Amino acid sequence: MKQLTGNQVRQMFLDYFASKGHAIEPGASLVPHNDPTLLWINAGVAALKKYFDGSEKPKCNRITNAQKSIRTNDIENVGKTARHHTFFEMLGNFSIGDYFKEEAIQYAWEFLTSPEWIGFDKEKMYITVYPDDEVAYNTWVNICKVDPSHILRTADNFWEIGEGPSGPDSEIFYDRGPKYDPEGLGEKLFFEEMENDRYIEVWNVVFSQYDAKEGVDRKDYKELPQKNIDTGMGLERLVALIQDGETNFDTDLFMPVINATSKIAKHPYEGEYKMAYRVIADHIRTVTFALSDGAVFSNEGRGYVLRRVLRRAVRFGIKLGIQGAFMYQLVPVVADMMEDFYPYLQEKVDLVTRLVKTEEDTFHATLTNGEKLLMEALDAASNTKVLDGEVMFKLYDTYGFPKELTKEIAEEKGYSVDIEGFNQQMNLQKERARNARDDEQSMSSQSIDLMNFEIESFFTGYIDTTCHSKVIACFKDGIQVDSITGEGDIILDQTCFYAESGGQIADTGTFCNDSFTAFVTDVKKAPHKQHLHHLVDIKGTLAVGDIVDGTIDIERRLNIKANHSSLHLLQSALRKVVGTHIAQAGSYVCADYARFDFTHFEKLSDEQLRKIEQEVNAMIMHDNPVITEVLTIDDAKNSGAIALFDEKYGDTVRVVSMGDVSKEFCGGTHVSNTQEIGVFKIEAEESIGSGIRRITSKTKMAAYFDLIARENTMKSIANNMKLNSINLLEEKVALMMEENNQLKKDLQKQNEKMMMLEADETVKQAKSIGGLNVIMLRKENADPNSLKSYAEVLRNKCEDSFVFIANVSDDKVTFVVASSKAAIDKGLKAGDIAKLAASMSGGNGGGRPDLAQSGGKDSSKIDEIFNTIEAKLA
């Protein structure tokens, strides 16, 4: 067997399949592009789904790739086992209706066993096949010459996830020898399918030949009209075998990170600390790649997954004696380690480092208090050994503990967790990452008619707003038909209608001829890039071969063009005013407004927004011509044009230039001169996730009407205030605010006086409980600051006292607690009681042993809180 680095193995795999006529498909971004069914790209085939489901036709039906993937369903096993990872690379070869079983098996065998390639010992290879798959079995035995005694037939060898393409598969295993078989069980480990470290699955070859249907027995599945091959081999596993690593972590794909961590940690990479090192090494790879690919930390979806991964690693860093943020220091290590195949990581390293550092600091700020609360809750549950779901939710909501992290900590200490209780607390929250998608990997059944329709269609809409066209195809619910009426889809030999893409919505309009009229409500791109027009309210019948006249909604198109072009100027202005680290993270362009998402760490100041808006309007008025060119991808990049990071581009690209102020890759429609945009107005600037900001804007008459509406509102307010000019509003509002603040202060003083007058009567009502004079009051809409003074007065007027006040305002509740020295000596510290009351009502807060304040969200819990406190007093 050859001695190879991880980078060499990856490249060798791609080179091998390129020599077999496969096109090397660049790995896709971990963040799925135009696929709402996936949280992450989680397998090599996931990035090629568009080819398998027929939504797009590949240039070559033989494809190979090395695909970055993320899976977190078994995150608690990462670090514990030899081969679990959250981030991994999947090496795959695929056939879209080209070769099938015999060739796929022979390719796998040759790559693994030929001395020219990996060079595994053939006698150490073991195979599994589906019991009924005679073709696969015979290929292994008769062509590859595998000893039948090394083949296991098992019903588990059938790939099927939801409806759609499915079929038998064949797995390839490698025998690592007696060194990894401490009990000397030998082949029993393989044939009885026991969990072991000796017989390691290397490659899975899936023969996609059936169309799975819900409720249909497997034996009755129909054959697919196009049979496919889908294979997957984990790079980390293969490299561990080649480098004879004890685990996947003991290879050059992880050891640079482990070595870097050891320089920060107080404990070495050995014994009980190995798990912590491995968790950190795995998780920093996940975080670095995910953030570099455009994901962000957040409290939902993939951002929640990412936050959970990083915070789990931080906790394991603490186990190694690392204090404070440290994961950010490992980002450059990952970038350096993976630079040969993923050079873009170096371009993102500063951004990713800052994002990780910010997220770590945020978590550390609450980690100590959160862990203290968790330990207290576990102690309180020592009898039941079940952690309460409300505590789990509080840890999540207040201290940023992902529920999975809380669960893992609790289970380490022998506790189970009340997941049902947690979910009840979360019933108003969005679905979290673990349950984000049930059909994460399911593929649609093949749309054969659209996939097979290859007649070319031309887009003329960059210049034309009308078209005189011939209908070359009609579709009803995805099925090709000769004619349509009522509603359906058509493809034309040429069209002026823009198809939705690149964040820009489609054109709408009408089609007609002497015997038919219809409205166009949407336009999508078919698998071969033709524009598929969706027609409604079809009057008459439209058939293949008919000639139609199409007209787009011109006013709508003009507004879309202005909004789209303004976003190019906005990006240029952002990079000039804020910094060149600004990168587009998404956009949406319609006729009414536009949205631009971009990478940045903090809210833009009012002054920055003013400068950005001013800069864009200056560019608009500067009379910049808008020029489009079609260039080769290399020429376009060399020209300095800005490209979207995760966008897939062909051999040639369209480049849009606006004078010397903007140059971007773009396939959308644009104005011919920036002056056509008219005016640009920022409507809002907001955060949509950690490190991602969004600007919403308007142009042309929409922006003008908004400005007029705002001016009219200000005039109305000025008139109501008896002002002659809106220019006096700012001064008047400042004066009113000053007067209002003074009134609040006066009112607070008056309330305090009233309370003080009540104090003597209230003290007389104190109850003697457990040797203390106890005062427990309910108030409504009282001033919280006055309540604290009031509670202190009551405590001081009443010897050996304990005071608890609950004040309800708008269904929210404020708790104020004052404890005398006698009460504190009995264990009734004000801060502890305030925390207790807050936790019981879904809030937070605390304070000193003698005086504390907290808040709650559920005033219906007050009776229960009073009873609980009285029980503590007794």
620, with CB counted inside 10 A (0-12, 13-18, 19+), is buried
Q: How far apart are CA 45 and CA 23, in angstroms?
A: 15
Q: How far apart are CA 351 and CA 229, in angstroms?
A: 39
What's the sign of the alpha-carbon dihedral 549, 554, 556, 557?
positive
**E strand intervals along 605-644:** 626-632
User: Which tokens go with 572?
Assistant: 């240029």
Residue pair 492/577 in contact (Cβ under 8 Å)? The answer is: no
Q: How far apart are CA 786 and CA 749, in angstroms?
A: 8
Reported as half-sphere exposure (CB side, CA atoms, 13 A), residue 486 has a value of 3
User: Which residues 6+ apart lie within 8 Å of 141 measured at CB?
Assistant: 148, 151
Q: How far apart are CA 712 and CA 719, in angstroms?
A: 10
3-state DSSP call for residue 96?
strand
Q: How far apart are CA 832 and CA 809, in angstroms?
A: 23
Residue pair 76/408 in contact (Cβ under 8 Å)? The answer is: yes
144, with CB counted inside 10 A (0-12, 13-18, 19+), is middle
Residue pair 834/805 in contact (Cβ under 8 Å)? The answer is: no
User: Which tokens go with 250?
Assistant: 């003991």
User: Which residues 6+ apart lie within 8 Å of 824 measured at CB?
Assistant: 830, 849, 850
Residue 98, H or E segment: none
- 666: annotated binding-site residue? yes
3-state DSSP call for residue 464?
coil
- Number of CB atoms found within 10 A of residue 247's CB: 17
Query: Which residue matches tokens 């060898």?
Result: 157
- Number of CB atoms found within 10 A of residue 182's CB: 10
- 670: annotated binding-site residue? yes
Tell me 72's DSSP state: -
3-state DSSP call for residue 483?
strand
Query: How far is residue 453 CA from its own chain's centroid?
Result: 34
- 590: annotated binding-site residue? no
Query: Which residue matches tokens 């797009």?
Result: 56
- 33: annotated binding-site residue? no
Tell me 580's DSSP state: T
Nearest Cα to Cα of residue 794 among 777, 780, 808: 777
> Residue 809: left if φ>0, alpha if ψ -120 to 50, beta else—which one?
beta
212, with CB counted inside 10 A (0-12, 13-18, 19+), is buried
Q: How far apart are CA 662 and CA 651, in angstroms?
A: 22
Q: How far apart are CA 585 and CA 295, in angstroms?
A: 9
What's the sign of the alpha-carbon dihedral 494, 497, 500, 504?
positive
Nearest Cα to Cα of residue 303 among 351, 359, 344: 359
Binding residues for Zn(2+): 564, 568, 666, 670
Binding residues: 564, 568, 666, 670
